[in-house]
A = this chain, B = another copy of it.
């Protein structure tokens, strides 16, 4: 199918065209920029929600329950599951995604996995492009799920409008360490598997930390919600809080601020990627190779070598 045909079908609501469009932008196929340009004016309408948390926290099941809840209310949901770290991703995500098959014949739900394998350029950029495509397609809500909680994943998820951090009661001592990197990105804390022992204690521990920490947003007190995706307990409360947060973002002007900040980061990431490619080309030239050789022979330090190459860029 040609790109214009894909666009036409895309605008008519074809799920197949949607999938194809994401592939085009994800793989940076030749019409990728054209496509993004065509879709650009239709973006910015969806509420983008990020879910992160330690492995095994039950994020996928929780999202599964949330999606079921949203579909009952006729809310259209696009989901992007991101796993940057593992080469085994395909399998791991597939395992999680099987639980989501209940939604797979529903045209109001679309699920896509993204991983790092074979990618040139950042996973973060590819994810943002995929979000734009889902947004332009007309999903009301876009969920970004990150499998694990590494730095790359946190960098990706924190660009969502609303970030939910999922924890477990059993996490115990780990929570302390875990909170370190994510306290500042959470808009909502979710204690999942809240039927397990220790849930109450975990809640108090997190609430205490919320009060003691510097707020991400001075006008929003990060709530702590108890859920159990097994019993679908707390899902309505989770959704209410997510919407409450979105309303807060809209009325306070914070949404615009966050999105502009994200746009900035996105443009910087694209530029850094471009510069990296340019650098790789430059480093293959004889002049650069000679300088590196000199550093190899310890005639100059690597700092000086870098300076010399930089001057020639």
Contacts and interface: CB of A to CB of B under 8 A. Distances in A.
Interface of A: 33, 36-37, 40-41, 43-44, 85-88, 92, 128, 150-152, 177, 180-181, 259-260, 263-264, 266-268, 270-272, 274-276, 279, 283, 292, 295-296, 298, 300-306, 309-310, 313
Nearest to A132: B301
Given A152-B151, A271-B306, A272-B279, A296 B33 contact: no
B309 A271 contact: yes
Given A40-B301, A271-B310, A86 B276 contact: no
B305 A41 contact: no
Contacts of A266: 302
Given A85-B151, A150-B150, A272 B267 contact: no
| Secondary structure of the A contact surface, majority rule | helix
Contacts of A177: 86, 88, 92
A302 B181 contact: no
A59 to B, nearest CB: 16
Given A180-B86, A180-B87, A181-B85, A276 B270 contact: no
A41 B271 contact: no
Given A85-B181, A309-B267, A296 B40 contact: no
Max chain B C-beta neighbours (<10 A), residue from A295, A296, A303: A303
B180 A298 contact: no
Contact of A301 (B37, B85, B292): B37
Contact of A263 (B37, B85, B264, B295): B295
Given A266-B302, A271-B279, 13 more contacts: A36-B301, A37-B300, A37-B301, A40-B300, A41-B298, A150-B150, A150-B151, A263-B292, A264-B292, A267-B292, A268-B279, A268-B283, A272-B279
Q: How many copies does the complex hold?
A: 2
B180 A306 contact: no
Nearest to A273: B306
Contacts of A87: 180-181
Contact of A86 (B152, B181, B302): B181
Question: Which of A44, A304, A306 is packed against the most chain B CB atoms within 10 Å?
Answer: A306
Contacts of A302: 128, 263, 266-267, 270
A303 B181 contact: no
A168 B22 CA distance: 41
A270 B180 CA distance: 28
Contact of A33 (B44, B274, B301, B310): B301
A181 B152 CA distance: 15
A95 to B, nearest CB: 12
